[in-house]
């Protein structure tokens, strides 16, 4: 072991030199103490920081906490608490970190006399309002109109601006090069943004995802006033769209929407259905925007009198609701929690507030100093991964809705996860560890997009596990025949190789787990190679090396290669609902209605046509509400309740009344499963195939120091209240594909559907 001698020239009677010696010795002493801290103590320290971080970030409503870069704070905090040699030092370190953003935080040692709680109640409380967090799911900055987080009675800078009303129509012949004028009356105590122009500039998904970035004009209208915008279409413009975005938390009133265009220097009016709101509009319309020739507005819209003394003049009211739901943390204004390392905390989750600040105001100089320090933080290994886990662990702990269904023991994963990441030697190894940790959720939607992942490419083939054998079901390489069986991968039995992949891939059901592993095992670093041993049809074994050299996979599901629309004998129609878009479905509607039976293939992700099909099969108004959005006001999912929602579908005028079969399998996920929930509940058809993926619910996302994490933020149950997660929709008739049938070019599930429908036709 090498020793370093520290030689410092000292001039006699030199105070500066003596001070330098003292500082250097102090530094050496501190480094020695830090290195002497046992690893298990460092892990305990990070454990305590992680728990306190989640409580303060998502449940403490101080204004100071809204000014922090929480990603960098997580990385910085881990670095700071790691140095604490004992519990008392850890308490001091945590207080130094959090007091600037949580002035009323108390941390006490186990068994210590209760520390006097700071006074967070003002002398004149009647002049204050109470502020606290409400979360519907949780808004993690993902530009979602679905998940919301709001501090009641405080400005919510994190809240997304939202499109309140929109209309889309076709550009008329002769409009090119001529002025089109949008006008309407509005009243609001806040500002509104109006966008108006060609549909090519305003893609619907983009509007829903980021209304803040849409170009438009800003209007202020404290009293009823006229808003007006002009636009000149070009020859290439086929459609137009306009919309109104609320920019403040204020109620908005709209009336007399008009669209005028110039013809021979004279203004003519383009008819907008009920633009004056003379008649009561169909309220509570389903979002999103963009259905042609229909005004669309948010679900909470109301039809009200414009003036109290006029019974014949009505307008549209778009109210702003301060609360997301009625529940408040009135019985628990403060959290009393153990955070480990013999430390307990007391943290208010309800504070007093004025229009300008939350009470009490923290030390402004300390907050500024903390923010400046955080700004300089760099994402060094392994603290970038530990900071990511601090965030990811808390998001799953407080907001993931499937803990019980997935038998998730998440609290027990905290310290092992920290330990595993702490001991990784590279970003690539840390990514693998991070995937294993997050896969314990069994969330079929969960994905990790890492900044440290090598560029991904794919093998030139597609494989699938059928009857315990890994079958090649497609190939870009002519030397690899379809139907070959993969026996070994990298000199390991195929099953053993997949067993190593298994912990990296989250899924709640066996079938969907195999599907995700099949896809994951096809990915690798570009230009890397992999060794395979395969058995071709005649039993010969071949060994070959394949390169990861394709930017896209061959295809996602086996039935991707099936035709979009097909006519069978005996009047049976087949529709592949992934490949058959809504417009194509409508074009085939006459053939479908004139058929004797219909097969709808849902063995992958369907188009919007699937929802139209449900309305054409419904006999009565739809009332089920299987979607459950978590209502969160307390951490650790304590007293978590749900806001139930459904589709509120109406039966279509032109119905499908002939026998119907829906094909499905373990690859059917999310929207495909939702369609089958409606089919199963209302008995809209016979389901043939395999159980679905057992995964459903809208996806939420959070940016981490290492990339992006996506997970399921919405809970879905069967309409009768029974569990869907990890079970899926079960078929009425189960049919498994076989290796022999695949090699013969047969689709056993499709064959069974045709056979079943022929029996129905002949019986009727």
CA distance 464 to 468: 10
pLDDT tops 70 at residue 420: yes
Q: What is the pLDDT of residue 1?
A: 34
pLDDT band for position 14 (cuts 50, 70, 90): low
Per DSSP, 49 falls in state H
pLDDT tops 70 at residue 439: yes
Q: Which of 25-29, 45-49, 548-552 has the lowest mean pLDDT?
A: 25-29
CB-count exposure of residue 750 (10 Å: 0-12, 13-18, 19+): buried
More confident position, 393 or 193: 393
pLDDT tops 50 at residue 76: yes
Which conformational region is residue 442 in: left (phi greater than 0), alpha (psi within -120 to 50 degrees), or beta?
Answer: left
pLDDT band for position 143 (cuts 50, 70, 90): low
pLDDT tops 70 at residue 144: no
What percentage of the chain exceeds 70 in pLDDT? 89
pLDDT band for position 23 (cuts 50, 70, 90): low
What's the whole-number mean pLDDT along residues 243-272? 89
pLDDT tops 90 at residue 239: no
More confident position, 90 or 240: 90
pLDDT tops 60 at residue 291: no
Q: Which of 118-127, 292-301, 493-502, 589-598 has the lowest mean pLDDT?
A: 292-301
What is the overall mean pLDDT for the chain?
89
Q: What is the pLDDT of residue 16?
A: 60
What's the whole-number mean pLDDT along residues 479-508? 95
Q: What is the pLDDT of residue 271?
A: 84
Q: What is the pLDDT of residue 5?
A: 39
- CA–CA distances in Å: residue 535 to residues 251, 460, 494, 737: 69, 17, 12, 19
Q: What is the pLDDT of residue 513?
A: 97
Q: Which of 26-35, 242-251, 439-448 has the lowest mean pLDDT?
A: 26-35
On whether the CB atoms of residues 128 and 119 are closer than 8 A, the answer is: no
pLDDT band for position 573 (cuts 50, 70, 90): very high
CA angle 135, 137, 139 (to 5 degrees): 70
Q: Which of 68-77, 151-160, 501-510, 577-586 has the lowest mean pLDDT?
A: 151-160
On whether the CB atoms of residues 98 and 337 are closer than 8 A, the answer is: no
More confident position, 492 or 293: 492
Considering only the C-alpha atoms of the chain, give the largest distance between any 2 of them, rounded to a whole number of Å: 113
Reported as a single tens digit per residue, the pLDDT across 636-650 is 999 999 999 999 999
Measuring CA to CA, which residue among 435, 446, 371 is closest to residue 402? 446
pLDDT band for position 34 (cuts 50, 70, 90): low
Question: Which residue carries 């787990």 as its tokens?
Answer: 513
pLDDT band for position 338 (cuts 50, 70, 90): very high
pLDDT tops 90 at residue 30: no
Reported as a single tens digit per residue, the pLDDT across 591-627 is 999 999 999 999 988 999 999 999 999 999 999 999 9
- Please state the separation of Cα 30 from the chain's center in Å: 44
Q: What is the pLDDT of residue 370?
A: 97
Q: What is the pLDDT of residue 616?
A: 97
Report strand pairing: 296-297 vs 302-305.
Answer: unpaired
Q: Which residues contact 669 (CB under 8 A, 6 or more apart)?
A: 444, 445, 512, 605, 692, 693, 695, 696
Q: Which of 11-20, 112-121, 424-433, 714-723 has the lowest mean pLDDT?
A: 11-20
The pTM of this model reads 0.83
pLDDT band for position 289 (cuts 50, 70, 90): very low
Q: Which of 157-166, 445-454, 583-592 has the lowest mean pLDDT?
A: 157-166
What's the whole-number mean pLDDT along residues 221-244? 90
Reported as a single tens digit per residue, the pLDDT across 679-690 is 999 999 999 999
**How many H helices and E strands in the chain?**
17, 36
Phi, psi of 720 (to 5 degrees): -85, 5
What's the whole-number mean pLDDT along residues 562-581? 91
A 10 A CB-CB count for 120 gives 17
Q: What is the pLDDT of residue 203?
A: 58
For helices 414-422 and 39-59, angle between their N-to-C axes, nearest 10 degrees: 120
pLDDT tops 80 at residue 415: yes
Q: Where are the alpha helices (DSSP H) in 14-165?
A: 15-35, 39-59, 70-81, 87-98
Q: What is the pLDDT of residue 26?
A: 55
Q: What is the pLDDT of residue 288?
A: 43
More confident position, 366 or 31: 366
pLDDT band for position 339 (cuts 50, 70, 90): very high
């Amino acid at each position: 072991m090498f020793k370093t001698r520290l030689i410092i020239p000292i001039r006699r009677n030199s105070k500066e030199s003596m001070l330098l010696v003292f500082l250097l010795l102090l530094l050496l002493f501190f480094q020695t103490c830090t290195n002497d801290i046992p690893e298990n103590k460092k892990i305990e320290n990070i454990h305590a920081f992680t728990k306190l971080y989640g409580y303060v970030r998502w449940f403490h409503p101080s204004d100071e906490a809204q000014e922090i870069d929480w990603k960098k704070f997580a990385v910085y905090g881990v670095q700071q608490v790691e140095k604490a040699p004992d519990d008392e030092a850890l308490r001091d370190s945590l207080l130094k970190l959090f007091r600037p953003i949580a002035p009323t935080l108390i941390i006490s040692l186990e068994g210590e006399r209760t520390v006097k709680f700071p006074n967070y109640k003002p002398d004149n409380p009647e002049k204050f309002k109470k502020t606290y967090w409400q979360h519907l799911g949780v808004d993690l900055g993902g530009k979602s109109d679905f998940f919301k987080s709001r501090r009641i009675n405080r400005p919510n800078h994190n809240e997304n601006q939202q499109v309140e009303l929109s209309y889309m129509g076709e550009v008329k012949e002769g409009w090119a090069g001529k002025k089109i004028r949008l006008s309407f009356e509005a009243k609001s105590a806040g500002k509104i943004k109006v966008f108006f122009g060609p549909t090519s500039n305003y893609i619907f998904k983009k509007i829903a995802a980021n209304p803040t970035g849409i170009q438009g004009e800003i209007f202020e209208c404290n009293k009823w006033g006229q808003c007006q915008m002009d636009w000149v279409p070009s020859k290439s413009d086929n459609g137009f769209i306009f919309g109104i975005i609320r920019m403040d938390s204020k109620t908005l009133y709209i009336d007399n929407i008009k669209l005028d265009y110039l013809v021979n220097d004279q203004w003519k009016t383009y008819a907008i259905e009920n633009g004056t709101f003379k008649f009561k509009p169909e309220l509570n319309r389903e979002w999103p925007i963009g259905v042609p020739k229909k005004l669309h507005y948010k679900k909470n819209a109301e039809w009200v009198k414009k003036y109290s003394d006029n019974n014949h003049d009505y307008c549209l009211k778009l109210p702003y609701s301060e609360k997301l739901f009625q529940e408040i943390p009135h019985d628990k204004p403060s959290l009393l929690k153990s955070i480990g390392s013999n430390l307990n905390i007391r943290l208010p989750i309800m504070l007093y507030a004025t229009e300008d600040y939350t009470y009490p105001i923290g030390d402004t100089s300390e907050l500024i100093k903390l923010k400046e320090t955080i700004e300089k933080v760099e994402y060094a290994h392994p603290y970038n991964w530990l900071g990511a886990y601090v965030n990811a662990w808390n998001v799953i702990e407080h907001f993931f809705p499937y803990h019980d269904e997935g038998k998730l023991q998440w609290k027990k994963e905290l310290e092992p996860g920290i330990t595993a990441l702490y001991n990784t030697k590279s970003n690539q190894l840390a990514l693998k560890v991070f995937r294993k940790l997050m896969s314990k959720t069994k969330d079929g939607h969960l994905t990790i997009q890492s900044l440290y992942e090598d560029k991904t490419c794919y093998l030139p083939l597609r494989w699938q596990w059928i009857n315990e054998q890994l079958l090649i079901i497609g190939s870009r390489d002519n030397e690899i025949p379809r139907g070959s069986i993969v026996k070994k991968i990298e000199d390991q039995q195929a099953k053993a190789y997949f067993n190593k992949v298994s912990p990296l891939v989250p899924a709640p059901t066996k079938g969907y787990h195999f599907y995700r592993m099949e896809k994951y095992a096809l990915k690798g670093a570009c230009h890397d190679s992999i060794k395979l041993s395969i058995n071709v049809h005649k039993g010969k074994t071949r060994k070959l090396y394949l390169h990861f050299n394709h930017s896209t996979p061959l295809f996602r599901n086996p039935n991707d290669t099936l035709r979009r629309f097909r006519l069978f004998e005996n009047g049976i129609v087949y529709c592949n609902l992934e490949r058959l878009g809504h417009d194509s479905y409508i074009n085939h509607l006459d053939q479908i209605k004139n058929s004797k039976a219909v097969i709808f293939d849902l063995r992958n992700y369907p188009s919007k046509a699937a929802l139209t099909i449900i309305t054409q099969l419904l006999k009565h108004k739809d009332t089920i509400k299987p979607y459950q959005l978590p209502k969160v006001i307390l951490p650790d999912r304590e007293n978590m309740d749900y806001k139930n929602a459904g589709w509120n579908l109406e039966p279509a005028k032109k119905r499908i009344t002939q026998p119907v079969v829906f094909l499905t399998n373990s690859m059917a996920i999310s929207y495909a499963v939702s369609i089958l929930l409606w089919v199963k509940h209302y008995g809209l058809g016979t389901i043939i195939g395999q159980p679905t993926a057992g995964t459903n619910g809208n996806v939420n996302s959070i940016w981490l120091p290492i990339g992006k994490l996506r997970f399921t933020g919405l809970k879905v149950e069967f309409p009768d209240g029974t569990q869907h997660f990890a079970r899926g929709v079960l078929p009425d008739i189960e049919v498994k594909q076989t290796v022999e049938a695949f090699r013969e070019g047969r689709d056993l599930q499709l064959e069974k559907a045709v056979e079943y429908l022929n029996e129905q036709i002949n019986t009727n």
